[in-house]
Amino acid sequence: MELKNLGEFNFIHSIESDTIYDPNTVVQGIGDDCAVYKVTEGYEQLVSTDTMVEGVHFSFQYMMPYDVGYRLMTANLSDIAAMGGIPRQVVLSVAAPGHIDTRILEEIYRGVKEQCQHYHVNLIGGDTVSIDGPMVWTITIIGEIPQGKAVLRSGAQPGDVVGVTNYIGYAATGLGSLSYNLDGYPMTRIGHQRPEPQIELGITLRELGVHSMNDISDGLSSELNEIAKSSRVSIIIDETLIPLHEETYKLAEALQTNPIDYALLGGEDFQLVFTAPKELSKALENLGSITLIGEVIEGEPVVQSVTKAKEIRLLEAKGYNHFHE
């Protein structure tokens, strides 16, 4: 059935069941002017919002509707992970054209709810409007963090080591293989379609005492530059240490591109990049999913890298930019 035949209120009614995955914190969910939720004593509240636009952040050529919802939740959960926080509540706003088949919307919600269930997050409200254009999906997420413990972009200190979680350039490899219609990239395709936020690692890193952290939405060079600027420090990384998946090397070979660029410029990995006191190096490496790729030094707020050929180059804050020519 088309959305315009179902109508706004029937649509809201159709999605409101199975939205509460941590009932202890909810006083009022979907169904009133505002949602009402409880906060934990001794904790600060985190809030962040992220939007996904059809044609910009996703294409039904490369993703199933279920994946769209899944990744929308991941992008929002990822910003909570980047602070070392615990996700709690979300509200979701959708703008959709009247001719859309409601089965597509149901599938997107199924993806959202899957991630809500997995991370014990409640979907407590939202908004539904019509648009004469592409679908626009926005989530606002609320999380919690023990008082004074949020890991900021501005906390990096000279002498820190720089680390990343898992593989970088993974999602961009999957998207590249899809857009060039190349077979043989099963792992990274899932990385593009169904990325995971690093909630548990974010909490572990915060508890270990990392100094600064960011999640990778726009690309490693962009995120490192944000840390360098906010913290007023210089960062230097060794490009040969950036953890790339074998499918990234394979795609770079097939397309005659530089594999490092998928990590530096690709984005949407939703992995974490952080800086930490050098004394934590051993503990960080013992986590298994962390790679140390550089260090923080005193100086201008810039990022430099040592290339494979042992040359030093400036890493500009390139990466995904919505308003770049």
Ligand X SMILES: Cc1ncc(C[n+]2csc(CCOP(=O)(O)O)c2C)c(N)n1
Ligand Y SMILES: Nc1ncnc2c1ncn2[C@@H]1O[C@H](COP(=O)(O)OP(=O)(O)OP(=O)(O)O)[C@@H](O)[C@H]1O
CA distance 93 to 132: 16
Q: Which listed range, 8-16, 117-125, 127-135, 210-218, lies at the site for Mg ion (CB under 5 A)?
A: 210-218
Please give the residues from 303 up to 322 whose contact with ligand X meets the rule CB under 6 A: 320
Of 29 and 176, nearer to ligand X (C-beta) is 176
Q: Which is nearer to ligand Y, 54 or 79 (CB)?
A: 79
- For position 78 contacting ligand X by CB under 6 A, the verdict is no
Q: Is 48 in the site for ligand X (CB under 6 A)?
A: no
Say whether residue 218 binds ligand Y (CB under 6 A). Answer: yes
Q: How many whole angstroms separate alpha carbon 299 and alpha carbon 227?
A: 13
The Cα–Cα gap between 34 and 41 comes to 22
217 is in an annotated binding site: yes
In the complex, the smallest distance separating the C-beta of residue 250 from Mg ion, rounded to whole angstroms, is: 27
Q: Does 269 bind ligand Y (CB under 6 A)?
A: no
For residue 93, list its beta bridge partners: 127, 138
CB of 134 to Mg ion, least distance (A): 18
Read off the tokens for 21: 């995955």
How many CA atoms lie within 13 Å of 56's alpha carbon, on the beta-carbon side? 13
- The C-alpha atoms of residue 213 and residue 206 are separated, in whole angstroms, by 9
**Does 79 engage in binding with ligand Y (CB under 6 A)?**
yes
Give the C-alpha separation, 266 to 318, whole Å. Answer: 10
- Core vs surface per residue 15-44: b (16+ CB within 10 A) or e: beeebbbbeebbeebbeeeebebeeeeebb
Q: Could you say whether residue 226 binds Mg ion (CB under 5 A)?
A: no
Residue 222 contact partner, candidates ligand Y, Mg ion, ligand X, none, CB within 5 to 8 A by sort of partner: none
Q: Is 109 annotated as a binding residue?
A: yes
d(CA 125, CA 16): 9
49 binds ligand X (CB under 6 A): no
Residues at the site binding ligand Y, with contacts judged by CB under 6 A: 50, 75, 79, 217-218
Known binding-site residues for Mg(2+) equal: 33, 48-50, 79, 127, 215, 218
Residues forming the site for ligand X (CB under 6 A):
50, 56-59, 75, 175, 217-218, 267-268, 320
